[in-house]
Structure 1
Amino acid sequence: MTGHHDGPDRAHRRPEGVSDETVEALGSLSKALETTERARGHLYSFHQLTGTADLELDRAVELLRKAGHPDWAETVRTQVLGRNVIPGHWTFQIVEAYDTTYYQPFKEIEQGAVEELADGRDHLYEAEMKESRRTAGHPDHTARPESTPQARGGDAR
């Protein structure tokens, strides 16, 4: 069952004159940026987990004092609590440096390439892959979100 809603929307159709090689290259660039997004998420996890551990050290210091171990409490307080994770850096500084030095320039370059080479249309590689893998007429293989069929198992009211 095909109709005017069959196939990708305009934002996911290849502009005229854009080659297969360009679509593939932009797909690869997008995949690399997506992987960088994941790496950045892990960096934020590292940042938050390290910060949570550092805040828990306050409790450990207090409990060591209460347990009668003031020397250990002082060692933890002065030698671990608030310590740089790498020379001169807390984790927020690592995140900031990553964003400024690597993530933002990468993101801007990827966006610029998509703008210039594909008329600003994202995910052309994936959209074309989806089209090639869809089963025409199958209710769970629709091309677009707005073409999703009515709920199954009864009449559409």
Structure 2
Amino acid sequence: MNAHSDGPDSRHQRPGGVTGATVEALGALSKALETTERARGHLYSFHQLTGGADLELDRAVNLLREAGHEHWADRVQQEILGRNVIPGRWTFQIIEDYNRTYYEPFKQMERQALQELADGRDHLYEAEMKEARRTAGHPDHTARPDSPDTD
């Protein structure tokens, strides 16, 4: 299976009986989870940016008051400051719901599929792609950090 004597470590080698189709399917499942991880990161960005904007509103309210615009300071404070971003929810509640309803079940499903279908071995698709694309004997194309240096 290994094209090079310094091939992937055992946790990145396809277990016996696991087909190429299974490796490809698990790779797609993992890629979808990685995309979900990125989406979740954007959700945290949304959370932090919205929270930062809400905190900046304190400054805006104070500056409006100092500038003699009590009516506008009151409006911003009463209508926008601390406002829900969607009905009944601040951003932290959206994250909690997302994690509980979508992210955690998806993450558990991907782990279970890897465990059942590939003995828990992750990134087999990528490991096989790396092995196929390496240049034999090139020092920057080794399979692992502990691979022997080659000339």
| TM-score, with structure 1 as normaliser | 0.91
RMSD of the TM alignment (CA)? 1.2
- Structure 1 residue 148 displacement after superposition: 6.7
**TM-superposition CA deviations, 1:72-106 (whole Å, max 9, x none):** 00000000000000000100000000000000000
Q: How much has 1:146 moved relative to structure 2?
A: 1.6
- Give, in whole Å, the separation in 2 of the partners of 1:136 and 1:124: 20
Structure 2 Cα separation of the partners of residues 69 and 149 of structure 1: 71
State the alpha-carbon separation in 2 of the partners of residues 50 and 146 from structure 1: 45
Aligned mates of 1:58, 1:25 — CA distance in 2: 50
Residue 149 of structure 1, CA deviation: 4.0
Q: What amino acid does structure 2 have at the position aligned with 1:121?
A: R
The code of the aligned residue for 1:45 comes to: S
Corresponding position: 1:89 with 2:85: no
Amino acid at match of 2:145: P
- The TM-score with structure 2 as length reference comes to 0.95
Quote the Cα distance in structure 2 between the aligned partners of 1:75 and 1:114. 54
1:142 counterpart residue number: 142
Whole-angstrom distance in 2 between the partners of 1:38 and 1:28: 15
Determine the C-alpha separation between the residues in 2 that align with 1:83 and 1:149: 60
The letter for the 2-side match of 1:74 is: D
Letter in 1 for 2:97: A
Whichever residue aligns with residue 83 of structure 1, its letter is R
- Whether 1:9 aligns to 2:43 is no
1:43 corresponds to 2:43:
yes
Give the residue type in structure 2 aligned to 1:101.
T
Could you tell me which runs of 5 or more consecutive residues in structure 1 were left unpaired when the two chains were aligned.
Answer: 151-157
% identity of equivalent residues: 74
Name the CA distance, whole Å, in 2 between partners of 1:74 and 1:121. 58
Query: Aligned residue for 1:26?
Result: 26
Deviations 1:28-85 (A, max 9, x none): 0000000000000000000000000000000000000001000000000000000000
